Amino acid sequence: MPVSALPGLTLSLSAMSVLEAAERENRLTLAGSVEELVAFAVPKDKVDPEGYYTVGYDVPDKGFVPEAKVCRVPNGIAANYFDPYMRRRDPDCMLIADEQASDKPTFRSRFGMEFEGVREETLAWLRNQPIAAFFFESGLPGKPLNALAICPANAGFFALGLALLQGIVPLERVLEQGDDYYHEAVVYVAPPFRHTHFDGKQVVVHNRRFDDKDRLHELFSYNLYPGPSAKKGVYGMLLTLGERDEVPWTTAHCSTVKVVTPYDNVTTIMHEGASGGGKSEMLEHMHRTADGRLQLGRNLVTDDIRYVAIPRGCQLKPVTDDMALCHPGLQHHRDGTANRLWLMDAERAWFVRVNHIDRYGIDPHMESMSIHPPGPLLFLNIEAKPGATALIWEHIEDEPGKPCPNPRLVVPREYIPDVVEGSVPVAIRSFGVRCPPCTREKPTYGIMGLFHVLPPSLAWLWRLVAPRGHGNPSIVDQGGMQSEGVGSYWPFATGRKVDQANILLNQIVDTASTLFVLIPNQHIGSWEVGFAPQWVAREYLSRRGGGSFRREELSKARCPLLGYHRETIQVEGQIIGTWFFDVAKQPEVGEEAYNAGAQQLRKFFHDQLSSFLHEDLEPLGKKIIQACLDDASADEYAELIPYGEDAE
């Protein structure tokens, strides 16, 4: 459909100039469905003899630079990047171009020049390209953020990923709005600028044009990996939208699942954390061994293996995979949940990492759905051949013998079995942390037990420091213990840390009857555990109804930052002993190594929290942070925000 067929719509002048230039040269496709973008992803008349379509660009002084190899497969579209660096998100890719309040690095500070010149170059380049564009919506139903995506037509696989993740609005529905349509956001995609301007690095630039005359959030994506822009870039738009609302709200970085136990108890768990913290895994069924047991862990020193037999797991009804709208308008006052956090999915599709599925039979549900999907999927970093079914356990290699740690697929949420529509109240908020092994010989912060119960004030602190943790597969590795930043969504936010800290604090105070827990993955002391801790915690906490523990049921952790823990738990008649809750009792660890790990955590918290002592931080927030800097006990944290029975 031509641009001229869209009368009365409010589009930015810059966006309209690109669309009109492409239309004049008969180079514009204005898509209104995913099917149209599937066709663009692999043009039949441009594939090589083997069936691949190479996406690339002419770059001055470099010639043609290939970016990705794309092919059609029976279950969708598969794209693989030539450069291993492009197969995961660079955590430092985001820059701010405008003068609005922000704590983020600016384009000017990184490159020593204003963005406006590069912006004009970008628009000029796009005006000379074949263009694929489409409308999408993000945000609260009934009050969406209207947006437009403008991509070079040969990057159809990227446009497809964006359309799947955010949804694509049929052109007829846009036209129905006529003069009432207001265009508030636009995504521009210009991949060759990565080479011509940014030394090969991923760069995503936010340009918030908010003033008395304008209300437009521009996003310039200078790379073709969807993570930093098509997904997290739009996430940044939502966070900006929440900050600017009359009653500020946020979009949480979490998965959410409604868990139905074999006894028909229903508990909703919200699992937050940095990339790699187990969000997608919280929605997965336990990965069982051939005999049906769950391997709880393998001791790295003794090679001992422990199993748990859970004959019947809980039924899982997924709600969100990575992003959840926590708008106050979602809250319903019914069923005793008035003081609960209510949320709903912020996405139309899920960006699922499958690095842990390295052979057939690991996750039969995901494997079956990906092989026989109801519609096309987008596969990234999966070894695929034209015409052959893409298999999610066949990962491409970054180098010989080294599989890419970030294989992905984009799955529309309506393909997910038992997916929950609408908003839900949260009973348990868990926070996931990737932990390294901890032993006497090599003490580390891997001292967390199977799960810890946190007072709300301490739960808030964990969301401020948000450790990225050990062996993160989703991003370019920076080494050591890094912070993902406030909410674990700070890499995607455009504004100030203090504003997001206040939003989270007020949210937690208002919902303090929630059970807050901390769950490690990968290691518990000297035991290699993968994601077994959160699967066991999910089964156990749901079976007990998700309510708060009585104080006498809990012991104070040796490290106050870990709150409280159980000494043992019983799951389906099996005892999980104290070694998995108090890591200092593991013979391979001991108190000295535990204390060294606790000191690492203490230093990390102190280093990260000092930057939040801002004049605009809520007084309660200052009090909680000061308590941490003064080495408060778990009981002292508990007194700062009433919770459990005290919060009712």
DSSP for 390-447 reads --TT-B-EEETTEE-S--EEEEEGGGSTTPPPS-EE-SEEEEEEE-----SSS--S--
pLDDT given for residue 181 in this prediction: 78
pLDDT given for residue 4 in this prediction: 56
pLDDT grade, residue 182 (50/70/90)?
Answer: confident
Q: How far, in Å, CA of 200 to CA of 325, rounded?
A: 34
The SS3 assignment for 132 reads: strand
CA 273 centroid distance within chain? 8
Find out whether 271 and 515 touch, Cβ atoms under 8 Å. no
User: 304 vs 291, 298, 309, 567, 583, CA distance in Å?
Assistant: 18, 6, 17, 21, 16
The CATH number assigned to the domain holding 619 equals: 3.90.228.20
pLDDT for residue 336 is more than 70: no
Whether residues 147 and 268 share a domain: the answer is: no
pLDDT exceeding 90 applies to what percent of the chain? 81
Q: How many residues does the chain have?
A: 648
Q: How far, in Å, CA of 380 to CA of 245, rounded?
A: 35
Specify which residues 273 forms β-bridges with. Answer: 432
pLDDT for residue 137 is more than 70: yes
Q: Please state the rounded mean pLDDT for residues 224-243.
A: 94
pLDDT given for residue 11 in this prediction: 74
What kind and span of H or E run contains 243? Answer: helix 232-243
| Residue 118 burial (10 A CB sphere; 0-12, 13-18, 19+) | buried
pLDDT given for residue 545 in this prediction: 86
Question: Pick from 190, 208, 225: which residue ends a domain?
Answer: 225
Find out whether 585 and 579 touch, Cβ atoms under 8 Å. yes
pLDDT given for residue 1 in this prediction: 55
Whether residues 254 and 181 share a domain: the answer is: no
Inside any domain, residue 368: no
Tens digit of pLDDT for each residue in 423-479?
Answer: 999 999 999 999 999 999 999 999 999 999 999 999 999 999 999 877 666 555 555
pLDDT given for residue 95 in this prediction: 97
Find out whether 361 and 392 touch, Cβ atoms under 8 Å. no
Whether residues 462 and 559 share a domain: the answer is: yes
Whether residues 257 and 220 share a domain: the answer is: no
Neighbour-count burial for 389-412, b at 16+ CB within 10 Å, e otherwise: ebbbbbbbebeeeebbbbbbbbbb
Q: How far, in Å, CA of 483 to CA of 465, rounded?
A: 6
Inside any domain, residue 64: no
Domain span including residue 295: 250-355+415-647
pLDDT given for residue 384 in this prediction: 96
Q: Please state the rounded mean pLDDT for residues 586-609.
A: 97
pLDDT grade, residue 335 (50/70/90)?
Answer: low
Whether residues 256 and 310 share a domain: the answer is: yes
Q: Please state the rounded mean pLDDT for residues 219-226.
A: 96
Whether residues 499 and 617 share a domain: the answer is: yes
Tens digit of pLDDT for each residue in 344-353?
Answer: 999 999 999 8
Inside any domain, residue 597: yes
The CATH number assigned to the domain holding 159 equals: 3.40.449
Considering the entire predicted model, what is its pTM? 0.93
Q: Please state the rounded mean pLDDT for residues 409-430.
A: 95
Whether residues 615 and 537 share a domain: the answer is: yes
Inside any domain, residue 243: no
Whether residues 286 and 209 share a domain: the answer is: no
CA 122 centroid distance within chain? 28
Q: Please state the rounded mean pLDDT for residues 415-423.
A: 94
Question: What mean pLDDT is reported for the chain?
Answer: 92
Inside any domain, residue 382: no
pLDDT grade, residue 586 (50/70/90)?
Answer: very high
Q: Minimum mean pLDDT among 104-113, 134-143, 407-416, 513-522: which range?
A: 134-143
Inside any domain, residue 142: yes
pLDDT given for residue 172 in this prediction: 87
Structure tokens at 533: 């801790």
pLDDT given for residue 53 in this prediction: 97
pLDDT for residue 480 is more than 80: no
Please tell me the number of Cα atoms within 13 Å of 239 on its side-chain side.
28
User: 621 vs 350, 419, 583, 617, CA distance in Å?
Assistant: 33, 36, 30, 6
Whether residues 609 and 478 share a domain: the answer is: yes
Inside any domain, residue 290: yes
Whether residues 204 and 285 share a domain: the answer is: no
| Residue 554 burial (10 A CB sphere; 0-12, 13-18, 19+) | middle
pLDDT for residue 43 is more than 80: yes
Q: How far, in Å, CA of 324 to CA of 252, rounded?
A: 5
Residues 91, 110, 214, 117, Cα dihedral to 10° = -130
Q: Domains in the chain: how many in total?
A: 2
Tens digit of pLDDT for each residue in 188-221?
Answer: 999 999 999 999 999 999 999 987 667 899 999 9
Tens digit of pLDDT for each residue in 238-256?
Answer: 999 999 998 999 999 999 9
pLDDT for residue 484 is more than 60: yes
Locus of tokens 């100039």: 17
Tens digit of pLDDT for each residue in 70-110?
Answer: 999 999 999 999 999 999 999 899 999 999 999 999 999 99
pLDDT given for residue 468 in this prediction: 83
Tens digit of pLDDT for each residue in 541-559?
Answer: 999 988 889 889 999 999 9
pLDDT exceeding 70 applies to what percent of the chain? 95
| Residue 618 burial (10 A CB sphere; 0-12, 13-18, 19+) | middle
| Residue 293 burial (10 A CB sphere; 0-12, 13-18, 19+) | middle
Inside any domain, residue 373: no
pLDDT grade, residue 13 (50/70/90)?
Answer: confident
Whether residues 481 and 591 share a domain: the answer is: yes
Whether residues 108 and 188 share a domain: the answer is: yes
